Amino acid sequence: EWFAGLRNEHFAYVHPKSERFTFFTGLNLFLSPALDKYDANGLKTGTFSAMDGSLSAGLAFAFSPDFCAGLTAKGVYQQADKETAYAYAADLGFIRKFENLKLGLAVLNLGTPVKLYKDSFALPLTFRGGAAYRVNERIWFAADAFQTGAGLGFAGGAEGELAVTPAETAFVRLGYKGGGAESAGSGITAGVGLKSGELRFDYAFAPYGDLGDSHRLTISFKFGGEREFLTREKKLRQVYRKAENAEAVTKEKKGRPAPAKKAAPAKDNGKKTPPKREKEIYFMW
């Protein structure tokens, strides 16, 4: 819920397909209340509504447990009264993980221009970079910088985690966002969260000075089993154990092996034949 009756609704679904691939889709809507409509003479002729929306789908790929990339394709829709406009765009991002540090870089809104009425304008091309540092298991610090057109903004914040019960965890957040107009408020933001099992609630509050206050509520739910990223070493162990189990089952079915026949004595030609050894080779890509 934004100021002046503006609303932003967002729905997203994320589906891990394998150890490396993750698919996701989302719907984002920005809605306005009824607005007064005037003719060329300044006379009120009624009301109209306006909205922006985007439908997106994408794929994320983990090159390793510490580096991943994502690509999103989206269709953009705008409506003002009876006029509509469409555009198509893509977002690209990367995340690099270290022991206690995460670094991210993204380019947003690479796409076609939007034409509404007789005017055509480009989507706001945005460059964004950020970092998150984990002090310990319960405290995170994060910073973010972004550029949209000629405007430059930045944000920073901290999150603390507190275990309420063995199954419930509470979160407290405090942040600051700069680079906006002076009339947009102090830039200080705050939020709380609660995680209970696979269900999570998050609330954020941001004052915008003379414009009013913004409230954001997020509800997320996880279902399905936890996904473990398998390294090459873990995969090799799985293959080797599987081969060992198959060999053990085969020996159990056959029973004790028959006594080996004594080989005929080799002719003494002055050369000794080395004993044969059993070898196994595993190839992995």
Q: Is the pLDDT of residue 254 over 90?
A: no
Q: Rounded mean pLDDT of 184-198?
A: 88
Q: Rounded mean pLDDT of 37-45?
A: 84
Residue 227: count other Cβ atoms within 10 Å of its Cβ: 11
Contact (CB, 8 A) for 109 and 88: no
Residue 35's pLDDT band, with cuts at 50, 70 and 90, is confident
Question: How is the chain split into domains, by residue range?
Answer: 3-38+48-221
Residue 206's DSSP bridge partners are 214
3-state secondary structure the chain: CCHHHCEEEEEEEEEECCCCEEEEEEEEEEECCCEEEECCCCCEEEEECEEEEEEEEEEEEEEECCEEEEEEEEEEEEEECCEEEEEEEEEEEEEEECCCEEEEEEEEEEECCEEECCEEECCCCEEEEEEEEECCCCEEEEEEEEEECCEEEEEEEEEEEEEEECCEEEEEEEEEEECCCHHHCCCEEEEEEEEECCEEEEEEEEECHHHCEEEEEEEEECCCCCCCCCCHHHHHHHHHHHHHHHHHHHHHHHCCCCCCCCCCCCCCCCCCCCCCCCCCCCCCC
Window from 151-165, 175-189, 191-205, 229-243 with minimum mean pLDDT = 229-243
CATH topology of domain 3-38+48-221: Porin (2.40.160)
Greatest mean pLDDT among 37-46, 218-227, 248-257, 274-283: 37-46
Calpha distance 88→285 (Å, rounded): 36
Q: Is the pLDDT of residue 66 over 60?
A: yes
Instruction: Quick: pLDDT tens for 81-92.
Output: 888 899 999 999
Q: Rounded mean pLDDT of 149-173?
A: 92
Contact (CB, 8 A) for 57 and 75: no
Average pLDDT value for the chain: 82
Residue 283 has a pLDDT of 32
Q: Is the pLDDT of residue 157 over 90?
A: yes
Q: Is the pLDDT of residue 132 over 60?
A: yes
Residue 46 has a pLDDT of 85
**More reliable by pLDDT, 283 or 259:** 259
Q: Is the pLDDT of residue 18 over 80?
A: yes
Q: Rounded mean pLDDT of 175-202?
A: 85
